Amino acid sequence: MVLLAATTIVNALPAKAASPFKASLDSTNLLMGRTINLSFSYLETGDTNGVVTLDMSSFPTEIEIVNANEMRPVRKPLGNNRYELTGQYILQSFDSGEYQIPGLLYINSTGDTVQSNPLALKVLPVDVSDMTTIISDTGVLNPGKKFTDIFPSWWPWVLVGIIIVAGGICAYLILARKVNPMAVIRKKELPPYEVAISALNNLKQQNLLDTGRDKQFYTRLTDILRTYLEGRFGINAMEMTSSQINNALAANPETRDSKKLMTEILQVADFVKFAKAVPMREENLRNFNYAVDFVELTKPAEQKQSSDTDSNSTPGN
């Protein structure tokens, strides 16, 4: 009877649910200087559009992530609104020892976080006992000549003298009111709308997304938008957090309707810059288009009328 009761209790206990987020290494041992794959798999339910990243605050500094910027996870549909998110990080180390790798983080669009299982890795030293000669003796190398070697040693003082004379001439012209430097600066200033559009076009031509430089892309994109907000609406966005910018946009009637575009850009940018998230390429392109749409929707009325006139005009016969 006792055995039967114990068996009944064990069978009544709930089974431990399998984790939807798993991480694994190709091997628990790694030869110093070699690389190893850290693979992960996460089962998504619904259109959460989450990202996988590493907790660098507790990640061993002795282990280097070779493909930190190039790693792109693959999202495979499984049916019934379920997806499998898989990917690999490539690890390398030049310091022997035993290390604990913290669990990977999955962050969805609402900010919820799921952590995978932690891993252990042992980095083995290279056996150099049978190595006798590493580098043989060599002769003295010829450093060659540089272009500056043709100038005498005192030429920098001549350059300094020229700069001082030129500076004195400029100061004289300004003090004598021969030249108004502020007028020259004002003449070259462009409207904030034109500055932002030009900067966005330049950012697009840099192809940062094609080279895996997501952090540089979002840093440059948000700087362009922050500069535009300050020039166009007087919002000191460079000194504000993302939430403060959203509040300022909500309080301005001219930006209230297009605020959601900026909110989406700032949210993803914060994930990339501070959580080291790696968004999908389609999401990056969508956020770039959101930035262009925001600038177009909030440009001054006279520039909107000019754009409408140009689009409606047709060439004469």
Give pLDDT tens digits for 53-96: 888 888 998 999 988 788 888 888 888 888 888 999 999 999 98
- Start-to-end CA distance of the chain, whole Å, equals 104
Do the beta carbons of residue 94 and residue 37 sit within 8 Å? no
HEC sequence for 240-295: CCHHHHHHHHHHCCCCCCCHHHHHHHHHHHHHHHHCCCCCCHHHHHHHHHHHHHHH
> Would you state the pLDDT for residue 83?
85
Element (H, E) at 76: strand 74-79
Supply the pLDDT for residue 4: 36
Query: Quick one: what percent of the chain has pLDDT higher than 90?
Result: 22
C-alpha 275/C-alpha 53 separation (Å) is 7
Query: 37: pLDDT confidence band, cut at 50, 70 and 90?
Result: very high
Q: What is the mean pLDDT of residues 127-143?
A: 64
Chain center to CA of 137: 46
Interval 22-31 mean pLDDT: 92
Q: Report whether pLDDT(39) > 90.
A: yes
Length of the chain: 317
The upper half-sphere exposure of residue 41, i.e. CA atoms within 13 Å in the direction of its Cβ, equals 8
List phi, psi (to 5°) of 71. Answer: -65, 120
Integer CA distances (angstroms), 241 to 70, 83, 226, 266, 276, in order? 28, 34, 11, 9, 18
Per-residue pLDDT band at 308 (split at 50, 70, 90): low
Confidence of residue 5 (pLDDT cuts 50, 70, 90): very low
Predicted model pTM: 0.40
**197-239 pLDDT tens trace:** 999 999 888 888 777 788 888 899 899 999 999 998 889 988 9
- Structural domains present in the chain: 21-124 (2.60.40.10), 155-188 (no CATH), 192-301 (no CATH)
**Residues sharing a CB contact under 8 Å with residue 186, sequence separation 6 or more, in sequence order:** none
Radius of gyration of the chain (CA): 30
